[in-house]
Amino acid sequence: MQGFGREPPVFGSEQSFRGVRIGMARGCWYDGCGVVFQRRFLMMCRPGFVVGAVFYVAVLMAAGPAGAQTGRVQGTVVDAEGNRLPGVTVTVTSPSQPTLKITKKTNAKGKFTVAHVDVTARYIYTFEKDGFKPMQVIVRPAAGGTKLMTFTMKPAETVVAVKGEDGSVIRAGSAAAIQVYNEGVKAQEAGDLEAAEGFYRQAAEIDPELAAATTAIAAVRLLQGDAAGAAALTEKALEIDPDDHRALQLRYDAYRALGDEARAREAARALRSTGDATDVARRIFNEGVDAYSEGKTAIAVSRFQQALELDPDLVPAYLALSAMLLDQGVPERSLSLAESALERDPGNTRALRLKLRAALRVADTRAAVSALDGLAASDPGQAVGIALNGAKMLYNAGKVEAAGEVLGKVLELDPNQAGAHYLLGLIEFNRGNTAVAKEHLERSVELAPDSPDAASAREILSYMK
């Protein structure tokens, strides 16, 4: 029988949430596909090519839901003048589907078609052709139909000689910037942030249009605690490439670290418009879990609230906040958060438990009965136990009417609850309804003759005679 006690804010096996860490193992996240990422700055790149759309401080993507709709993307690739480009290599991958790799070539009319079995996922389309700059675009297919899209490739940049200290040409053009950039990645992975920043700066000097280099410098600055410098650099990177998703995420992180709420909200809105806010929200949620495990409850509450600002549909954040606020003696807010979770996930048993406990604390019998009905559908024993203990609390607090309503519902669900009969017997006895009181008290003794309540019930019954 579940008691009317503390609701732990960190949920476990009851709910599996892809992309959100389940449990309290510090420094790790579960990606929903059986992969555990250690807490470190992840850089992903391929020699000779910049993979700008997959640079994240932490990549946490939710897998598509079962039964997701299919759809197609029909694309046309053109140059800056609108001329169609045949022979372009189109590679399709997805962060949420690690094994997915689809490769297409545009036909003589510059067209290609890709079929997707899950339109809820986010796909990265990479375009490559000699004489043109490689390009990446994030695509979300249309459900149940064909999405028509046009992709414009820019010509390769003019070759620029890059000389060494002795005057010899060591690299040229964007390829040189990419090589240097990748050296920065290696240095950062080795933990040498100073060297990494040096390489990133050199890459940015070689190719000023390489937004990823400026973004990488911002990431290093943020890791070093220079939030102001990081914020300025992300703004610079976004001037170069407004669609630099990593820069958008880092900008939010930087303004949040600075405590600049206005700019953080603006950065959050920009993230939501790109569809990347959920990734960041899950990472911040995990930061909240870390903070809670370390006893930093104020920080945990702040992180969960920030996660909800970014993703208002992040049910685990509602649950964690509701549980923490209930434990901190703020049942009204806890109730509201539990109800918000149930609006998004009506059958969530943890949300129903939280709603029931919070509603009982504030004597909201309507909400309590609603939660009791919902919880009883999946776990009647637990529902009755929580409600019975809550009714006792209400009775002892002098909220007799509310206690009576809850007990009546308890007996609808389980007519053989001796404790409910006993408490209702006391309520009716105090109201002067001796006949009804006698019936409940006798039934309580019959159901649990050896319970502590039975002795009290017999004494009252004896008095009533």
Q: Using CA of residue 139, residue 143, residue 144, residue 149, what is the dihedral sign?
A: negative
Give the separation between CA 99 and CA 73, rounded to whole angstroms. 20
Looking up tokens 């019998």, which residue turns up?
Answer: 365
Report CA 124 to chain centroid distance, whole Å. 21
264 close to 250: Cβ distance less than 8 angstroms = no
Residues found in the chain: 465
Q: Looking at residue 7, what is its pLDDT?
A: 55
215 close to 200: Cβ distance less than 8 angstroms = no
Q: Looking at residue 167, what is its pLDDT?
A: 53
* Sequence-ordered list of residues with C-beta below 8 angstroms from that of 132, at least 6 positions apart, any chain: 79, 85, 88, 153, 154, 155, 156
Give the separation between CA 442 and CA 445, rounded to whole angstroms. 5
Burial pattern 378-410, b for ≥16 Cβ within 10 A else e, equals: eeeebbbbbbbbbbbbbbeeebeebbbbbbebb
Selection from 100, 80, 102, 95 nearest residue 151 by Cα: 80
319 close to 331: Cβ distance less than 8 angstroms = no
Q: Looking at residue 367, what is its pLDDT?
A: 95
Helix orientation angle between 277-293 and 245-258, rounded to the nearest 10 degrees: 40
Q: Looking at residue 209, what is its pLDDT?
A: 87
9 close to 320: Cβ distance less than 8 angstroms = yes
Domains and CATH numbers, the chain: 21-60+158-313 (1.25.40.10), 66-152 (2.60.40.2190), 315-464 (1.25.40.10)
Average pLDDT over residues 319-326: 95
Question: Is residue 1 predicted with pLDDT exceeding 60?
Answer: no
pLDDT in tens, 219-256: 999 999 999 999 999 999 999 888 888 898 899 889 98
**Of 54-63, 250-259, 389-398, 444-453, the least confident:** 54-63
Give the single-character DSSP code of 4: S
Average pLDDT over residues 433-456: 93
User: What mean pLDDT value characterizes the chain?
Assistant: 81
Give the single-character DSSP code of 167: S
Angle at 226 between CA 224 and CA 229, to 5 degrees: 130
Question: What is the pairing mode between strands 28-30 and 36-38?
Answer: antiparallel
Long-range contacts of the stretch 230-236 (C-beta < 8 A, 24+): 230/254, 230/257, 231/255, 231/258, 231/260, 231/263
Looking up tokens 């009775």, which residue turns up?
Answer: 395
Average pLDDT over residues 26-42: 31
Q: Which two tokens stand for residue 169?
A: 């040409």
Q: Which two tokens stand for residue 323?
A: 């549980």
Categorize the per-residue pLDDT at 128 as very low, low, confident or very high, splitting at 50, 70 and 90.
very high
pLDDT in tens, 191-225: 999 999 999 999 999 888 888 899 999 999 999 99
Answer with the residue of higher pLDDT: 436 or 162: 436
Q: Which two tokens stand for residue 301?
A: 């509450």
Secondary structure of residue 32 in the 3-state scheme:
coil
Secondary structure of residue 148 in the 3-state scheme:
strand
415: number of Cβ within 10 Å: 11
241: number of Cβ within 10 Å: 17
Q: Which two tokens stand for residue 378?
A: 């999946």
Give the separation between CA 271 and CA 284, rounded to whole angstroms. 14
Q: In percent, how much of the chain has pLDDT > 90?
A: 53
Q: How many helices (H) and strands (E) does the chain have?
A: 17, 11
Question: Is residue 30 predicted with pLDDT exceeding 70?
Answer: no
Categorize the per-residue pLDDT at 458 as very low, low, confident or very high, splitting at 50, 70 and 90.
very high
Question: Is residue 170 predicted with pLDDT exceeding 70?
Answer: no
Give the single-character DSSP code of 111: E
Burial pattern 425-456, b for ≥16 Cβ within 10 A else e, equals: bbbbbeeeeeeebbebbebbbebbeeeebbeb
Residue 138: strand pairing partners = 124
Give the separation between CA 370 and CA 377, rounded to whole angstroms. 11
Q: Using CA of residue 314, residue 316, residue 317, residue 321, what is the dihedral sign?
A: positive
Longest dimension (CA), the chain: 113
